[in-house]
Amino acid sequence: MELFDFILDDVVPTKPIRIGVLSDTHVPDRVGDLHPDILPSFKELNVDLIIHAGDICIPAVLQKLEEVAPVVAVQGNRDWWRIKQLPSHKIINIKEVKILITHGHGQLFTYLWDKVPYWLLGYRFERFVKKFSKWEPDFDIVIFGHSHRAENQWVGGRLYFNPGSAYEPMQNHQGATIGLLEISERKTIDAKIVFLRELGWRGGKWIEKNR
């Protein structure tokens, strides 16, 4: 797999790199527009880079994100039609931190086969760890999506980071979330999940859920 050294213009070499992370925006197949907190949150967090881990659905989503910062994106299972030019995974290197970016659904057969244990047992984070452990062993961070469940866990010296779903996934009871990574010198990594307002897409617009 090809490794890209990601160089950000206008960033002081000794300054920590702040990365906004999101996934599963599902515009317009499930909601009509980005959650209204996403762009302001990334601006407020002063991110240098945005990573989208798939299920983007239309190019306009990436164009809006690019108004805030450069964007790296991979293809999700809902992107095969409108954004099929995106890679299924990407590997980038930032301050000597090696990052694998993938949606997490795998190839078509794997995607369909994975549904069986999900239907029988429900969501299991350990299944994603097992899946990614078959890749090259020297990733420092694995960024993925697909499950609509936010994860920020270190396993075996590797950070598994899923920003959750950036829209309103009813089934996970977490609400809409995005993520923030900060990478400093000496491969220091800080990560957090950012919770967005509890809004729902109703009648062609975002509204408060209690309305």
- pLDDT digit of tens for each residue in the chain (211 aa)? 455 555 565 566 778 999 999 999 999 999 999 999 999 999 999 999 999 999 999 999 999 999 999 999 999 988 988 898 999 999 999 999 999 999 986 655 465 556 555 555 566 778 878 777 777 668 999 999 988 999 999 998 999 999 999 997 666 667 899 999 999 988 999 999 999 999 989 999 999 876 5
Phi, psi dihedrals of residue 166, rounded to the nearest 5°:
-90, 5
pTM for the predicted model, two decimal places? 0.88
Quote the CA–CA distance of 153 and 15 in Å, as a whole number. Answer: 25
As given in the structure block, the two tokens for residue 92 are 């980038």
As given in the structure block, the two tokens for residue 192 are 């957090």
Residues with Cβ within 8 Å of residue 152, at least 6 apart in sequence: 159, 160, 161, 162, 179, 191, 192, 193
pLDDT at res. 109? 46
Quote the CA–CA distance of 84 and 167 in Å, as a whole number. Answer: 22
DSSP H helix total and E strand total for the chain: 4, 13
Residues with Cβ within 8 Å of residue 117, at least 6 apart in sequence: 124, 127
Residue 105, SS3?
A: coil
Residue 19, SS3?
A: strand
User: Which residues partner with 154 through β-bridges?
Assistant: 159
